[in-house]
A and B are shown apart, each in its own frame.
Chain A
Amino acid sequence: MTNPSVIRYCEKIICPLTARVVFQLVALNLVPSSDWCLGGEKNLPGTSMAAIGVHLGCTCACVAVYKDGRADVVANDSGDRVTPAVVGYLENEVIVGLAAKQSRVRNAANTVDNVKQILGRSCTDTQAQKHISESKCLVLEKGGKPKYEIDTGEAVKYVTPDEVAKLIFSKMKETAQSALGSDINDVVITVPFDFGEIPKRSLGEAAVAAGFNVLRMIHEPSAALLAYGIGQDVPTGKSNVLVYKLGGTSLSVTLIEVNSGIYRVLATSTYDNIGGICFTEALTDHLASEFQRSYKQDIRGNARAMMKLMNSADVAKHSLSTLGSSNCFVDSLYDGIDFDCNVSRARFELICSSLFNQCIEPIKKLLEQVEFKANDVNQVVLCGGSARIPKLQQLIKDLFPEVELLSSIPPDEVIPIGAAIEAGILLGKDNLSTDLDTLTIECSASDILVKELDDAGANRFTVLLPSGTPLPARRQHILQAPGSFSSVCLELYESAGKSNISTEYKFAQIVLKDLQTKANDVHEIVTVLTMKRDGSLHVTCTDKDSGKSEMITVDETS
């Protein structure tokens, strides 16, 4: 309580205004906390309106922040927008990111990378076994679960892949927080489409352990679509999008149907044997043979020299995506010899030509699988760092000559940006349904078409309600008929496939009679189709001028 004498002093001597201020302060002190508020609006206690999307890949992790309606990738403390998903254990500290990757040359046995390959998998899993055989860090099976053996001198530690993932997530959290300058918890995490239940859960638990509040886990291809906002503007229309993701250690191609703003995966396939690392390895091998040619020394047996060379090749590969040629320089590569070699982009493409073929082949296979032609694909989204390679983009462009190739966002940032956008959508929504993995919804089974005549007088079918539309759905079209007609007939057809439509697919017709003929004008018929969840269709046709209307209701044949 303020001393009364102070108040009086204020009143008399200084000025009444000050006294009032003091009184107000006292009054404020009297106001109790706000939790007694009954029946009134609930105030959300200071939620920061920002959320982040995190993509944890095999080789790299990336975080994007959604704030003020925009999603953007934030750079980490070393200024890189992408953080290598490498964790190095030193004697008395653990380092994550670029520092760990660079110190791998000296600390290979205690450096963990590609942790995503083994996360949530048992030792008997084929992919896990591949990882165990490739990892420079010893992996042992303890209690049915794989663990990394970390020997930093004092004591041998056993680290689970989950803990490694947690460290990476913590790093991403730090990165986002330092960029935003505030604490942030809400996150959307991406998972590959081929991740099973257990790896997915492990990933989620690792994120929770890092202090995140996981809003949702979404599939990487969907995130890529969301980053480009495909189907997000208007909830009508239907298109097919191919997502081509060439990551560090894996390649995945996914075909997604976007209908009414909702994404549906038609087909997907993942190849674990090809990835960006293959290009680096091919380039490294070339450089090693160059070295052998110049100095008559084979360094392939020397693990450390190869690792140095590989780091250099990695840098060269990156710069070759933008430059015509790149210089590889390694000080004291082997036996004190400095190595210097110039690689042109053409040379690089020559070296990797077979790899490029391997990268393109899956697209063709996928299209065959769903019996699509190249023209059936409306858009192609590139993601994954290696999708930057110009030759690869060229090859994909050749494959889809008519199709828009989306690569305006840097390919390795597409997925986190999509995740951040999703986080922005989910932000502030309560009662989020968490169990969305097996979400199925009703969709219309077949296209609903109307027969029209084109200018040449041939039959033409216009899709009124495409197949795969989430139900319930309503579509409104304005159809036109020549003004000279006094009656108009809408013949409605349904078609399940792409085969030619014949009269046997006709299921209804709507006739509007006694229309006023107009010499130089057209009749505008407003057609509204409404399909319920059980698949029954209701069609209303109204002539815009006269207001005459007809409607029908069609149920499915049971």
Chain B
Amino acid sequence: MLIEAEPEHCTAVIKGLCAASLLCQVEPVGRWFEAFIKRRNRSISASFQELEDEKESSEESEDEEFQLEEFALLKTLDPKDWKNQDHYEVLGLKNLRYRATQKQIKAAHKAMVLKHHPDKRRATGEQIAEGDNDYFTCITKANEILSDPVKRRAFNSIDPTFDNSVPSKSEGKDNFFEVFSPVFERNSRWSNKKNVPKLGDMNTSIEDVDGFYSFWYNFDSWREFSYLDEEEKEKAECRDERRWIEKQNRAARAQRKKEEMNRIRTLVDNAYNSDPRIKKFKEEEKARKEAEKKAKADARRKEQEEKERQRQAELEAVRLAKEKEEEEARQQALLLKKEKEIQKKAIKKERQRLRATCKNWNYFAENEVESFKMMEEIEKLCDRLELTSFQSLNETLSVSTKEEGKSAVEKQIQEVNAQIKREKEQEEARMRQATRAGENSGMGGGGSSSRSWSEDDLQLLIKAVNLFPAGTNARWEVIANYMNLHSSSGIKRTAKDVINKAKSLQKLDPQQKDDINKKAFDKFKKEHKAVSTSVDNAVPSERFEGPGGDTTPWTTEEQKLLEQALKTYPVNSPERWEKIAEAVPGRSKKDCMKRYKELVEMVKAKKAAQEQVLNASKTKK
């Protein structure tokens, strides 16, 4: 409950509000927030009731803009000539024209109907023409055209108030923007696309200008000329006539459309040609290109000069370096020679000194024989001793007595002898090693990991090599695997081992090979015997493909003869193998062919192995 006022009280403001409004951060959430922001952005200070009012008033203001302007000559219009009337003017939308919304058109029509309907006028006592002859038909017709989007568009296209003129080039020479800007503005209403670029002004960037002209050169217009059709399709009486009319109209429309496009084209052409910006850009571009060209030429020349200079400098440097090197080498050689000479001299001197001392002491010997022997030893010493040891020896000799000197010399002699002996031993060892290496290479290809190859293993290897001929995928790995699987020796062999061994085997002379083959055959026979004794009618589970298992081995001589024969009878000679067989005594044609095949195989295998090794070494690298 409010309090009662004292008699002396009256409405008054005692003081102002002490706190002003505060700025607060709020959360952008919720519908009241949206409403608030909307209100604030419209900068209308009011509460929510006023917001509603504002909404209404905005609609009103829209209506204000929409003012009907009665067409003065409305009543004089001839309904028959509706095609030539300005429908907007008839409805009083003279100012809005193509900008009028459907709503406005509807409203305008309603207003006109209210005012001009024959019934209404009849009520006021006006004379009404009969039927369609009344001017009200014009209003109906106007509404019919404008309320139908298609028809309205057709009418808009030929808007009688539209200025179709195109300024010529000379017109736009001096005040280009003033002349062309409104023309483009005007024509942009035909564009199918929204946001038609503006002509801009002198400061517009080249991109925008380019965009502008490319837009207008590719202008996509919705303007069409169906409104101007001479005949009306609906009037036709039969379908043939209708089709004929349609055809006529189409042709006329296309013609007009073409004219329209030409008009736009001319407009853009004129504008482009007289656009001062384009001129400016072109000049700038030209200047830029020239400058670029010049800069390029300059750069090239400079570069060439630089190159020349560099080349000269390099040559000079090389020459200098060479000279210096030669000089140095000469100096070095000289120095070396000198040093050598000095050393030689010193050694000579020392030698003489030693001999002299020894002679003085009569070679530390009592008799002739001993002294001779000693002399020999000392000569040996002289030959072998280094300068420094010479010096030390001579030093000791010069300060010591005869006995001491003798022992020193003997000691030196012993040392020298020991050295000689050592060297000899080393030499021998080397020799031995060399011979052994030779043997090794004969045996296992000199491989570092060469392991002992037993007879069985060799057999197995040969078998494997034949089993997996050249060309088998990963041949040596497969062979190594096979070997490891079947070997009785239990030594694990790698593909490399196998390759080495196989290569060395190929290197063997045929005699050795035959030996091996023979042995293999013996063994085979032995095994088979063992097998056959143990198993009755046993079928050998292994295939044996030892080369020449049933023939005598080829001797070297036979081999040579065969090779000779192969050379003398080339591949295409008739009855080649018969002749070859004749050339090799004791061998049949079949034998020869077999041997030849074997040889070819061997050569092939050799090549393959070489390649493998080569590849392996490559991959290692």
Contact B149 A37 (CB under 8 A): yes
- Whether a CB of chain A sits under 8 angstroms from the CB of B17 is yes
Partner of A557, one of B6, B17, B102: B17
A-B contact pairs, 14 of them (CB 8 A): A36-B192, A40-B102, A261-B30, A262-B33, A265-B25, A422-B29, A429-B34, A440-B26, A443-B22, A445-B17, A470-B24, A472-B46, A481-B4, A509-B14
**B102:A443 contact, CB within 8 angstroms:** no
Interface 1/0s, chain B 25-49, versus A by CB < 8 A?
1111111111111001100011111
- Whether A262 and B32, one on each chain, are in contact in the complex, defined by CB atoms closer than 8 angstroms, is yes
| CB of A441 closer than 8 Å to a CB of B | yes
Interface residues of A in 505-558 (CB under 8 A from B): 506-513, 522-523, 525, 530-537, 550, 552-558
A426 contacts which chain B residues (CB < 8 A)? Answer: 34
Residues of A within 8 A of B5 (CB): 485, 487-489, 511-513
Q: Is B16 in contact with A507, judged by CB distance below 8 angstroms? A: yes
B73 close to chain A: CB less than 8 A: no
Query: CB < 8 Å: which of A8, A441, A513, A531 contacts B24?
Result: A441
Contact of A439 among B26, B31, B100 (CB under 8 A): B26
Is B606 an interface residue when CB atoms closer than 8 A count as contact? no
Contact of B32 with A260 in the complex, beta carbons under 8 Å:
yes
A438 touches B25 (CB 8 A): yes
Taking the closest CB of chain A, its distance from the CB of B607, in whole angstroms, is 40
Minimum C-beta distance from A58 to chain B (A): 22
Set B6, B17, B46, B99: member contacting A474, Cβ < 8 A = B46
User: A494, B19: Cβ atoms under 8 Å?
Assistant: yes
CA A543 to CA B32, docked complex, whole Å: 31
Residues of B within 8 A of A442 (CB): 21-24
Q: Indicate if B2 sits at the interface (CB-CB under 8 A).
A: yes
User: In the bound complex, do residue B30 and residue A440 qualify as a contact, i.e. CB atoms below 8 Å apart?
Assistant: no
Cα A225 to Cα B33 with chains together (Å) = 13
Q: Does B485 contact A (CB under 8 A)?
A: no
Cβ-defined contact, B28 with A533, below 8 A: no
Q: Which residues from B are CB-within-8-Å of A509?
A: 9, 11-12, 14
Whole-angstrom CA separation of A186 from B200 in the bound complex:
37
B99 touches A554 (CB 8 A): no
Find the B residue at minimum CB distance from A422.
B29
Further 5 A-B residue pairs, CB within 8 A, beyond A36-B222, A223-B29, A256-B27: A235-B48, A433-B37, A471-B21, A554-B13, A556-B20
Cross-chain contact of A218 among B1, B19, B29, B36 (Cβ < 8 A): B29
User: How far, in Å, is A16 (CB) from chain B's closest CB?
Assistant: 14
Q: Are B21 and A440 in contact (CB under 8 A)?
A: no
Q: Is A219 an interface residue (CB 8 A)?
A: yes
Docked pose: A260 CA to B273 CA in angstroms: 63
A554 with B1: in contact, given A232-B31, A261-B32 (CB under 8 Å)? Answer: no
Q: Is the CB of B6 within 8 A of A489?
A: yes
Binding site for B on A (CB under 8 A): 4, 8, 31-32, 35-41, 216, 218-219, 222-223, 225-226, 231-232, 235, 256, 260-265, 418, 422, 425-426, 429, 433, 436, 438-446, 450-455, 468, 470-474, 479-482, 485, 487-491, 494, 496, 506-513, 522-523, 525, 530-537, 550, 552-558
* B48 cross-chain contacts in A, Cβ below 8 A: 235, 474
B596 at the A/B interface (Cβ < 8 Å)? no
Complex contacts, B102 vs chain A, CB 8 Å: 40-41
Nearest first, the 7 A-B pairs at minimum CB distance are A261-B32, A474-B47, A489-B5, A445-B19, A557-B16, A535-B21, A481-B2
Chain B residues with Cβ below 8 Å from A491 are 3
Task: Say yes or no: is B239 at the interface (Cβ < 8 Å to chain A).
Answer: yes
The distance in angstroms between the C-alpha atoms of A523 and B4, with both chains bound, is 11
Identify which of B19, B40, B192 gathers the most chain A CB atoms within 10 Å of its CB. B19
Assess the A557–B25 pair: CB atoms within 8 A.
no
> Cβ of A511: which chain B residues have Cβ within 8 Å of it?
5, 9-11
* Residues B169-194 near A (CB distance < 8 A): 189, 192
B18, B22, B29: residue with the most chain A Cβ atoms closer than 10 Å: B29
Contact indicator per residue, chain B 121-161, by CB within 8 Å of chain A (1) or not (0): 00000000000000000000000000001100100100000
Q: Which residues of A contact B9 (CB under 8 A)?
A: 487, 489, 509, 511
Known: A537-B17, A552-B13. A425 touches B34 (CB 8 A): yes
A443: chain B residues within 8 A (beta carbon): 21-24
Contact A232 to B32, CB < 8 A, known contacts A508-B13, A556-B20: yes
- Cα distance A441–B36 in the bound complex, in angstroms: 10
Residues of B within 8 A of A480 (CB): 1-2
Q: Do the beta carbons of A534 and B13 come within 8 Å of each other?
A: no
Point out the residues of chain B lying under 8 angstroms from A482, CB to CB.
1, 4
- Are B19 and A35 neighbours in the complex by a CB distance under 8 Å? no
Establish whether residues B99 and A39, one from each chain, have CB atoms under 8 Å apart when the complex forms.
yes
**Chain B count of residues within 8 A CB distance of the other chain:** 57
Of the residues B6, B30, B47, B150, contact of A472 by C-beta under 8 Å: B47
Contact indicator A507/B30 (Cβ below 8 Å): no
CA distance A429 to B31 in the complex (A): 12
Kindly list chain A residues whose C-beta atoms are within 8 Å of the C-beta of B99.
38-39
CA distance A218 to B34 in the complex (A): 13
Q: How far is the CA of A470 from the CA of B9 in the complex (A)?
A: 33
Specify which chain B residues have a CB less than 8 angstroms from the CB of A555 in the assembled complex: 16-17
Q: How many A-B residue contacts, CB cutoff 8 Å? A: 225
Does the CB pair A436–B156 fall under 8 Å?
no
User: In the complex, which residues of chain B have a beta carbon less than 8 angstroms from the beta carbon of A522?
Assistant: 1
Q: Does residue B482 face the partner (Cβ distance < 8 Å to A)?
A: no
Check if A507 sits within 8 Å of B14, measured CB to CB. Answer: yes
Mask, B90-129, CB within 8 Å of A = 1, is 0000000011111000000000000000000000000000
Q: Are A218 and B4 in contact (CB under 8 A)?
A: no
Residues of chain A contacted by B98 (CB below 8 angstroms): 38-39
B15 at the interface (CB under 8 A from A): yes
Give A444 to B24 CA distance when docked, in angstroms.
10
Chain B 446-476 per-residue mask, 1 if CB under 8 angstroms from chain A, else 0:
0000000000000000000000000000000
Inter-chain CA distance A164–B46, complex, in Å, is 48
- Chain A residue with minimal CB distance to B47? A474
Alpha-carbon distance A256/B26, docked complex (angstroms) = 10
- Best-surrounded residue of A39, A436, A474 (most CB of chain B within 10 A): A39
Contact B25 A440 (CB under 8 A): yes
CA distance A208 to B45 in the complex (A): 37
B26 touches A533 (CB 8 A): no
CB–CB B27/A440 < 8 A:
no
Which residues of A are found within 8 Å of B41, using beta-carbon distances? 433
Which of B1, B20, B37, B50 touches A445 (beta carbons < 8 Å)?
B20
Q: Pick the contact of A507 from B17, B37, B101 — CB < 8 Å?
A: B17
* The residue from A41, A525, A533 contacting B2, defined by CB atoms under 8 A apart: A525
In the assembled complex, the CB of A257 is this many whole angstroms from the nearest CB of chain B, namely 9
Inside 8 A of B101's CB, which chain A residues have their CB? 39-41
Let me know if B3 and A441 touch, CB within 8 A: no
State which of B13, B19, B32 has its C-beta within 8 Å of the C-beta of A496.
B19
Kindly list chain B residues whose C-beta atoms are within 8 Å of the C-beta of A485.
2, 4-5
In the complex the two chains form, is A554's CB within 8 Å of B16's CB?
yes
* Beta-carbon nearest neighbor of B189 in chain A: A38
- Report the bound CA distance from A216 to B37 in whole Å: 15
Contact A452 B3 (CB under 8 A): yes
Q: Which residue of B lies closest to A557 (CB)?
A: B16
Are the CB atoms of A533 and B13 closer together than 8 Å? no
CA distance A487 to B2 in the complex (A): 10
Taken together as a complex, chains A and B put the C-alpha atoms of A208 and B151 apart, in Å, by 44
CB distance from B502 to the nearest CB of A (A): 41
User: Which residues of A have CB within 8 Å of B32?
Assistant: 231-232, 235, 260-262
Inter-chain contacts of A32 with B (CB < 8 A): 222
Contact of B21 among A223, A418, A445, A487 (CB under 8 A): A445
Smallest Cβ-Cβ distance to B43: which chain A residue: A533
The answer, among B19, B33, B222, for a CB contact under 8 Å with A556, is: B19
**Partner of B36 from A262, A474, A507 at Cβ < 8 Å:** A262
Q: How far is the CA of A470 from the CA of B3 in the complex (A)?
A: 30
Q: Which residues of A contact B22 (CB under 8 A)?
A: 442-445, 468
Residue in B closest to A424 when the chains form the complex, CB atoms: B31
Indicate whether A446 sits within 8 Å of B17 (C-beta atoms), given known contacts A261-B32, A429-B34, A474-B48: yes
CB-defined contacts of A490 to chain B, threshold 8 Å:
2
